[in-house]
Each structure stands twice: as structure tokens, then as C-alpha cells.
Amino acid sequence: MLSLYSPAKVNLFLKITGKRDDGYHALATLMQTVSLTDILHLSLAKEDSLKCSDAALPTDASNLVLKAADLFRRKTGFKFGLKAELEKNIPSEAGLGGGSSNAATTLWGLNELFDRPTSTVELAQWAAEIGSDISFFLSQGTAFCTGRGEIVQEMPIPVPQKLWLVKTHERLSTPTVYKNVVIADLPERDAGYYYYNDLELAAFQLIPSLADLKEHLLQLGFHTVVMTGSGSAFFCIGDANPEVLSLPFCTPVSFLNRSSDHWYSL
């Protein structure tokens, strides 16, 4: 059995550059994996099965872990079943990429279990068929992503940075937030690397209390508070009043990167 960490990500910046003919949004985003992780136990079996510590998540073929197994089967022609057990720590519908990370971890793990029949680069190309963010997790953990998110350019590993991940009980589904984006309403931005997220406006219109939470977090002392992905979690930088610890979900994390030959480790 192979046991692997499956990390969360944050979007250090996320710019929407347009709406595409296929209905997706064109993005330019800098993504970074962080030290909040699920744990995925994988072994080969007669048929597919998935157990998950979070009873609210589906464990049928709609789960990205089993979709990834099916993708690997189709692409390689191998006949196998996957027995997967998922210990969930990354909140869902939070913009932290938990499901996409689980899928990427499954692809990487299956490639190991079969003694590396393919490259990580090819796994990343396959991954784009089942989701926009999955290819990113097959990078080394810091990447500039364009297209609908699936065109991944590795970036140098940044200096270590401590962040806080914060969220309330609010959840946001990715398609709902993207549907609420009005391209004409997006702010003009200077070129350059700084922390921002063009999806905040659409998310705050859907759940106005998220704007209040951002303001509250700034008042508590963080100098940077930015929503990650399609929300509802925020990443925060700086030192804050300990009152922040009373929020439903609040955890310190650091950047996490992997070496080219190994999966993410803590």
C-alpha cells in the first residue's frame, strides 16, 4: 500500500483574462501548494473502492479519486481496480483545490504502483481531461497557470512564507462563482506580482458576509487577506490578534514544494 500526502493550494494571484467560447474563463494565476494536506492510501485490488473520513463527500465514481483511476486505466490500457482510503483535512468548496489534489495524487500514486510507465509531464496532460486544476498539482508546487488553469509553467520555488488559512462555514461551488463573474466589472490591474483574486467580487456578491470577514481579518492585524480560488477560504499574511483563533477554521500553513522525483512530504 502507498500512503501519500495530498496538499492544498492557494492562488497567490488570480486574474481573469476573458471568457472563452467553451464557457470556461481564461486565467492567469500563480498557484502554490501549502502544508495543509489530506492523506491518501492506495493499493491495487480487483475493483475500485473508496472510503473517505468525511461522510459528506461522495465515494462513488463521481469522486475525483475514482475519476483519476479511470483516466489512468483508459490512457494506459492497464486492467486494475483501485482501493483508496482518503483522510480528509482540506475543507471542501473552499477554493483550496482539495479534490483536484486528490486526483493528482491518485495519478502519481498509480504511476508508482505500476513502476512508472509514464512521465509526470504526461500525467499532467492527461489530468486536464478531468479538471482544470489537477495538472498544477503535478508540478513541483509553484507554477504560473494559464488557459483555464491547465497550462502549467513551473516557477522557481519562492522564499518560505507563513500563511494563515481561514474560513467560516460558508461554502462556494466553483461553477456558481464563475457563473457570477461579469467581465466588464473586473478591476483594471497593473502588471506585476502581488496578491489579489478577481473572483472575490463574484463570490462576495453571492455571500456578502465574506466581504465582512475579509474586513474583519484586516482589522485583526493581517496586512494581506485574499480569497483563494473560487472561495470561500482566505489566505492571510502577517500577525493577527489571537481572536482569529475563534473562527470555525483557522490554521497556519507554510509553502510546500516537492523535488522532481518525489511526491510532497511534510
Which positions are annotated as active-site residues? 9, 133
Contact between 171 and ligand C5P by CB under 6 A: the answer reads no
**Min CB(198)–ligand C5P separation in Å:** 11
Size of the site for ligand C5P (CB under 6 A): 11
Contact between 131 and ligand C5P by CB under 6 A: the answer reads yes
* Options 38, 48, 133, 200; binder of ligand C5P; rule CB under 6 A: 133
In whole angstroms, the minimum distance from the beta carbon of 94 to ligand C5P comes to 14
Residue 109 or residue 131: which is nearer to ligand C5P going by CB?
Answer: 131
Does position 132 bind ligand C5P by CB under 6 A?
yes
Q: How far is the CB of 143 from ligand C5P (least distance, A)?
A: 15
Take residue 18 and report the three cell numbers written for it.
476573458
Nearer to ligand C5P, 127 or 213 (CB): 127
3-state secondary structure the chain: CEEEEEEEEEEEEEEEEEECCCCCEEEEEEEEEEEEEEEEEEEEECCCEEEECCCCCCCCCCCHHHHHHHHHHHHHCCCCEEEEEEECCCCCCCCCCHHHHHHHHHHHHHHHHCCCCCCHHHHHHHHCCCCCCHHHHCCCCEEEEECCCCEEEECCCCCCCEEEEEECCCCCCHHHHHHCCCHHHCCCCCCCCCCEECCHHHHHHHCCHHHHHHHHHHHCCCCEEEECCCCCCEEEECCCCHHHHHCCEEEEEEECCCCCCCCCCC
Site for ligand C5P in 6-45 (CB under 6 A): 24-25, 27
- Minimal CA–CA distance to 39: which of 87, 1, 2? 87
Q: Quick one: 43 or 146, whose CB is closer to ligand C5P?
A: 146
Rounded to whole angstroms, the Cα distance separating 142 from 207 reads 30
d(CA 18, CA 15): 9
Q: Which is nearer to ligand C5P, 15 or 217 (CB)?
A: 15
Residue 63 interacts with ligand C5P (CB under 6 A): yes or no: no
Of residues 80, 114, 178, 196, which one binds ligand C5P by CB under 6 A?
178
Q: Which 137-166 positions form the footprint of ligand C5P (CB under 6 A)?
A: 148-149
Among 111, 120, 135, 174, binds ligand C5P (CB under 6 A): 174
Of 77-85, 171-179, 201-209, 239-247, the window that binds ligand C5P (rule: CB under 6 A) is 171-179
> Is residue 175 part of the contact set for ligand C5P (CB under 6 A)?
yes
The CA-based angle 193-227-136, given to 5 degrees, is 65
Closest contact distance (angstroms) between CB of 147 and ligand C5P is 8
Q: Say how many C-beta atoms besides its own lie within 10 A of residue 85's C-beta.
A: 17
Least distance from ligand C5P to the Cβ atom of residue 193, Å:
20
- Contacting ligand C5P within 187-206 (CB under 6 A): none
Residues forming the site for ligand C5P (CB under 6 A) = 24-25, 27, 131-133, 148-149, 174-175, 178
